[in-house]
Structure 1
Amino acid sequence: MTARLLRLRFLGLLVAGIWIVLDQISKTWAQSNLMGHPRFLFGHVGFELIYNSGFAFGIASGSSAIITIFGLIVSAGLIFALWRTSRRTIALGIGLVLGGALGNVVDRLFRHNGGAVIDFIHSGFWQTFNLADMGVVVGLIVIMVGSRQRQVSSSSNR
């Protein structure tokens, strides 16, 4: 294994770890400061504490155990993918998705919310979400862009 590949793996795991910590700090803040007291910055945009026992958008509410197992399986797959990548952009994206997935798994396993995750970022035009959710979405976009860049550069080399 080359030093470059080790650095890529470390980058992905470091990003995941940082994202988990930021997510948990933000959820602790939300739980301490928003219980029964939403804070709207302008209009309906702001912070409002809700507990989500389902997937994104409340799909499969009440299926926390199944969702936790699914999150752990996905996380294992992401670690496997991280070990196989040789691209910095992809490693970064995987780290964000992994951090987001594990951030929500941590909520389900270690917070006493009946298996629910803490959502608190309220946009007014989208479902309420958290930093873990942002990590998953932004990470997937980074992976898609990174994959597309490789395809474009490969196509132009033909």
Structure 2
Amino acid sequence: MCRILVALCAVGAYIVDQLTKIWVVGTMTEGQITPVLPPLLNWHFIRNPGAAFSIGTEITWVFTIVMVLVSVAILTQVPKIASTGWAVALGLVLGGALGNLTDRLFREPSFGQGHVVDFIALPNFAIFNIADSSVVSGVVLICLLTLRGIDMDGSRTGGGEGTGELPGPEESRER
């Protein structure tokens, strides 16, 4: 069941990411800013050759390699996952990595060095996309699972009780 959940989360994140990028490229001009919920949210279409905050714009190919390695590492761990939380987390990270990897491989200026389409703009923050949001959400969930001592196999480290899953509302009240 967890393998299916990883796949569903990864495919969902990937499809939403790619569809939104197709929409942005097809309906906006590069540099265009469209207010959505002023002043909190704008669409601001840019092509990012670097990583977060446009770091590393000269080494785009390194990000391509890193995304391939992250994707392969996650795929090798999928058979070990027996925790719903870990399945969701790793699925989100995988889908986001593959979304931005697709841009790196197939967008201009060249194969492996393509610029990522970013468009979600918050005040005084980086401009990002759905893939970035998926990766960050997955990593935050991984941190929470790790802090709670929940392993990928659903067991708990440190002799804690439980099934290795995040508690439901009724379990939270009992503690």
What is the TM-score when the length of structure 1 is the normalising length? 0.86
Moved segments of 4+, more than 6 Å: none
User: Any stretches of 5+ residues in structure 2 without a counterpart?
Assistant: 151-155, 162-175
**Higher RCO (Cα < 8 Å, 6 or more apart):** 1
Q: Give the structure with the higher percent helix.
A: 1
1:39 has 2:34 as partner: yes
Q: What is the CA-CA distance between 1:148 and the residue it aligns to?
A: 2.7
The aligned counterpart of 1:142 is 141
Give distance in 2, aligned partners of 1:32 and 1:124: 24
CA contact (8 A) 1:51 1:113 kept: no
What is the TM-score when the length of structure 2 is the normalising length? 0.78
Match of residue 60, structure 2, among 58, 64, 73? 64
The aligned counterpart of 2:80 is 84
- Give the partner amino acid of 1:25: L
Larger radius of gyration: 2
User: Any stretches of 5+ residues in structure 1 without a counterpart?
Assistant: 1-6
Q: What is the CA-CA distance between 1:104 and the residue it aligns to?
A: 0.1
Give distance in 1, aligned partners of 2:147 and 2:15: 30
**Percent sequence identity over aligned pairs:** 32
Give distance in 2, aligned partners of 1:76 and 1:155: 31
| Most deviating of 88-97 and 55-64 | 55-64
Aligned length: 151
What SS does the aligned partner of 2:123 have? coil
The aligned counterpart of 2:105 is 109
1:138 and 1:38, CA in 2 relative to 1: closer, same or farther beyond 3 A? same
